[in-house]
């Protein structure tokens, strides 16, 4: 099946060959520096030209704001010029009612200002709007008026832009001779002006005419050239349409896989730019390619997606193309009656447009075959006659002969011009040699002056470079100092959490020591009284009680001593060396410390926590101080999250933190899971970045997870990953080498 090729109208506005982002950034800086309101508004109008090539929604938003500002200062010219730019945005969005309203408003203003240039741009915008609605006679009418205005005011730029655009409705009517003639006129002008940006449009549209003339090789070369030029010039809209048309070209060559790939490139870029029309058209092309590849289920799904998008575009030809694609897929599956329904919807979409291209003709042929398959032979014959009429019109020998002859004349003229230019170049070179002999001495003097100036400039530049180098080095030193301070701050924050946990953990044995000491003092007083009374039996009983108390004091004292020794071992400055470490024991200690650390800050905090330790984990070769810091950070974050959720819910909620260790073949895994607030999807990819934190200002440095990630991945050749669902849970997974 032959596929639809998409032409791209070029708005009659100044165009730059530079990439879009630097140009917009430069304009934004000029807008900020503008000293008058009118200058600021005019700069925004220039910015709209670039936004229309990048993002239509952004262009519309910026345009509306500019109109409001222009109206506030009664700057009618600015209002009208902005409206003309918005017409382009609305047309490519398929919002033709808004485009027509903008044109009416602009026309009233230009009429009151008697602005001839404004009317030239106005007529071109009318031509574009009608062309995109497949009303090609109206489009040609307004472009001819634009050409007349441009000729009268001797505006070459406007004239050649109109030449380029009027070629498109002629092409869509299969009238190739005037189409190619106008495009070649415009191409001569843009080559002379070295306007690369505009040449991208010409290259693409000429490529499509070559295709319609059956010159596939030249068509492909022109379209690929358009892609290359558009990337260099930053014209994403040309790149978009070139992809779409390459998809059509490859479909015409029955290279269905290649066609599908380029169609999806166009669909994705169209969606990104907000161009629903080209997005829908490209999806339709992809669907047909998939059908040829016998991927019918995916083809039907893609075609239906194309229909949904096409309906939003409000472009008749696009809507026709989407329904036509679904009709072809259903016909391929021999679902003839369903196919007929889709083809009828397709033709209904373009019933008011005079479209006589081979693509529409092929659709009538497919409709004829569908009627035949359904047993409705009279309608099958009528549809086939329509196909034959269109085929005769499109491929008439005279039409192709005229276009081919015109192309040959154009190429002959180009060769003649090149030959004349070569001869003139030879004559000029001869004269130049004579002139050069006379000015040799003068050049030597100039060279001497330039050399002296270059030496002086070089010395000055060297001094400036040295000063700039010193400034950069000073800035780097200050940056390193600041980074070291921030890292130290994070370490001190971890130490604070560790200290709070130790204090709370050691409080229990100390309380026991104090309580048993107090009881022992009272027992000794009773012992003295019994000794004075001579009650030996009671004295022995009291002595036994005192002995038991002393044993308990000794037991809890040893427990406190063990806690202190353990924490001293894990918190001493790391030498950087790895050593065998019991990960289960390390996790247990820091889990309790993190819990008691938060309880030390918030007395009413309480949570269920447990360690599900795999005994097979055993000792692992790690730096215990660093791994301890990582575990403390993850545990503290988990308890913080469940505490935050508890405050939010203030009801039926049981905070829970579970730590699991597991021995794999040659790895050790540690899971830290909580049922807290979770991590928003939008920030999940950023949490390991330095200085990123979701905690309120003053509660976090944003370095904890970043340092933890570096310790695991760089220091221990492991991995640290996160899985989370906002409002439900967070789970961090550490994977370390087992040896």
User: For 540-563, what is each residue's pLDDT tens digit?
Assistant: 887 888 888 788 787 777 667 656
Q: Which of 125, 70, 73 is nearest to 100 (CA)?
A: 125
- Enclosing H/E stretch for 27: helix 20-33
pLDDT of residue 459: 80
Q: Which of 298, 308, 301, 375 is nearest to 340 (CA)?
A: 375
User: What does pTM read for this prediction?
Assistant: 0.44
Give residue 313's pLDDT.
Answer: 79
Q: Are 61 and 98 in contact (CB under 8 A)?
A: no
Residue 687 sits at φ, ψ, to 5 deg, of -70, -20
Distances (CA, A) of 479 to 374, 482, 485, 689: 78, 5, 10, 17
Angle at 344 between CA 339 and CA 347, to 5 degrees: 125
pLDDT at site 1: 36
Distant-in-sequence, close-in-space partners of 218: CB < 8 Å, separation ≥ 6:
207, 210
Residue-level pLDDT at 260 = 94
Tracing tokens 């967070």 back to the chain, one arrives at 730
**What is the reported pLDDT for 443?**
79
Using 50 as the pLDDT threshold, list the residues of the chain that sit under it. 1-6, 10-20, 397, 401, 408, 412, 570, 573
Three-state DSSP at 237 gives: helix
> Burial of 302 by CB count in 10 Å (0-12 exposed, 13-18 middle, 19+ buried)?
buried
Distances in Å between the alpha carbon of 10 and those of 6, 14, 133, 144? Answer: 13, 10, 16, 15
DSSP code for 699: S
Give the integer Cα–Cα distance in Å for 35 and 55: 28
From CA 55, how far away is CA 270, in angstroms rounded?
Answer: 10
pLDDT at 675: 95
Instruction: Tokens for 276, please give them.
Output: 């629903």
Q: What is the pLDDT of residue 202?
A: 84
Q: Smallest Cα–Cα separation from 611: which of 636, 637, 584?
A: 584
Please enumerate in sequence order all residues whose Cβ is within 8 A of that of 283, keeping only pairs 6 or more positions apart, or say none.
263, 267, 302, 303, 305, 306, 309, 322
CB neighbour list of residue 452: distance below 8 Å, 6 or more residues apart: none
**CB-based contacts of 166, cutoff 8 Å, min separation 6:** 127, 139, 140, 143, 144, 147, 178, 182
**In this predicted structure, what is the pLDDT of residue 13?**
37
Token reading at 193: 């002006």
Q: In this structure, what are the phi and psi dihedrals at residue 692, rounded to the nearest 5 degrees?
A: -100, 125
Per DSSP, the three-state class of 732 is strand
Kindly give, in sequence order, each residue whose CB lies less than 8 Å from that of residue 672, ignoring residues fewer than 6 positions away: 631, 634, 635, 638, 657, 658, 659, 731, 732, 733, 734
| Spatial distance between the Cα atoms of 204 and 219, rounded to a whole number of angstroms | 8
Give pLDDT, residue 499.
60
pLDDT value, residue 399: 59
The pLDDT assigned to 404 comes to 54
Closest Cα partner for 393 from 430, 437, 357?
Answer: 357
C-alpha distance from residue 318 to each of 138, 277, 323, 350, 357 (Å)? 19, 6, 9, 9, 14
Q: What is the pLDDT of residue 397?
A: 46
DSSP label at 118?
A: H
DSSP-H helix ranges across 350-439: 358-374, 377-394, 397-438
């Amino acid at each position: 099946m032959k596929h639809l090729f998409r032409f791209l109208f070029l708005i009659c506005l100044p165009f730059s060959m530079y990439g879009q982002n630097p140009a917009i950034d430069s304009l934004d800086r000029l807008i900020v520096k503008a000293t008058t309101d009118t200058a600021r508004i005019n700069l925004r109008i220039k910015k709209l030209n670039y936004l229309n090539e990048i993002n239509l929604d952004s262009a519309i938003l910026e345009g509306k704001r500019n109109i409001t500002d222009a109206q506030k200062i009664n700057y009618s010219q600015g209002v009208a010029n902005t409206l003309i730019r918005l017409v382009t945005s609305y047309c490519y969005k398929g919002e033709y009612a808004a485009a027509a309203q903008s044109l009416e408003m602009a026309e009233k203003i230009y009429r009151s200002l008697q602005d001839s240039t404004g009317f030239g741009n106005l007529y071109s915008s009318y031509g574009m709007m009608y062309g995109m609605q497949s009303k090609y006679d109206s489009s040609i009418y307004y472009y001819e008026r634009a050409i007349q205005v441009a000729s009268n005011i001797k505006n070459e730029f406007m004239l050649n832009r109109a030449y380029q655009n009027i070629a498109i409705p002629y092409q869509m009517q299969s009238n190739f001779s005037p189409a190619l003639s106008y495009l070649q006129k415009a191409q001569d002008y843009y080559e002379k002006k070295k306007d690369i940006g505009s040449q991208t449009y010409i290259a693409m549209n000429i490529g499509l005419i070559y295709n319609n003339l059956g010159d596939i090789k030249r068509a492909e070369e022109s379209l690929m050239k358009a892609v290359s030029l558009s990337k260099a010039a930053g014209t994403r809209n040309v790149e978009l349409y070139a992809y779409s048309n390459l998809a059509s070209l490859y479909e015409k060559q029955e290279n269905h896989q290649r066609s599908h790939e380029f169609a999806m490139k166009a669909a994705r870029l169209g969606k990104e730019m907000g161009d629903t029309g080209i997005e829908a058209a490209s999806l339709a092309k992809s669907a047909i390619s998939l059908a040829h590849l016998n991927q019918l289920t995916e083809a039907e799904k893609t075609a239906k997606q194309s229909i949904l998008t096409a309906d939003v575009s409000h472009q008749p030809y696009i809507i026709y193309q989407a329904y036509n694609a679904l009709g072809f897929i259903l016909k391929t599956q021999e679902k003839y009656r369903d196919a007929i329904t889709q083809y009828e919807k397709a033709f209904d979409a373009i019933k008011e447009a005079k479209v006589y291209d081979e693509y529409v003709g092929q659709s009538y042929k497919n409709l004829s075959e569908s009627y035949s398959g359904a047993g409705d032979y009279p309608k099958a014959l009528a549809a086939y006659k329509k196909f034959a009429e269109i085929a005769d019109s499109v491929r008439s020998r005279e039409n192709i002969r005229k276009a081919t002859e015109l192309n040959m004349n154009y190429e002959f003229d180009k060769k003649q011009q090149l030959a004349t230019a070569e001869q003139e170049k030879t004559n000029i070179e001869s004269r130049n040699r004579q002139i050069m002999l006379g000015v040799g001495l003068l050049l030597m003097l100039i060279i001497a002056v330039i050399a002296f100036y270059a030496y002086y400039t070089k010395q000055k530049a060297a001094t400036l470079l040295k000063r700039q180098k010193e400034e950069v080095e000073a800035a780097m030193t200050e940056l390193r100092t600041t980074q070291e301070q921030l890292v130290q701050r994070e370490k001190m924050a971890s130490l604070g959490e560790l200290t709070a946990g130790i204090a709370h953990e050691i409080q229990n044995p100390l309380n026991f020591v104090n309580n048993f000491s107090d009881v022992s003092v009272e027992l000794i007083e009773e012992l003295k009284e019994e000794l004075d009374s001579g009650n030996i039996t009671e004295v022995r009983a009291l002595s036994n009680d005192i002995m038991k108390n002393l044993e308990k004091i000794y037991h809890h004292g040893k427990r406190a001593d063990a806690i202190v020794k353990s924490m001293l071992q894990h918190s001493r400055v790391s030498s950087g060396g790895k050593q065998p470490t019991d990960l289960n024991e390390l996790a247990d200690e820091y889990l309790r410390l993190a819990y008691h650390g938060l309880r030390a800050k918030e007395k009413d905090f309480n949570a269920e926590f447990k360690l599900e330790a795999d005994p097979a984990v055993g000792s692992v070769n790690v730096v215990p101080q660093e791994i301890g810091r990582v575990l403390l950070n993850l545990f503290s974050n988990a308890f913080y999250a469940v505490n935050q959720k508890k405050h939010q819910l203030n009801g039926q909620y049981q905070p829970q933190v579970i730590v699991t260790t597991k021995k794999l073949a040659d790895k050790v895994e540690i899971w830290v899971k909580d049922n807290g607030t979770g991590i928003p999807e939008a920030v999940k990819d950023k949490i390991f970045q330095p200085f990123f934190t979701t905690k309120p200002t003053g509660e976090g440095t944003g370095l904890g997870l970043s340092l933890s990630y570096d310790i695991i991945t760089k220091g221990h050749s492991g991995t640290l990953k996160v899985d989370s669902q906002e409002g439900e849970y967070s789970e961090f997974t550490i994977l370390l080498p087992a040896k």
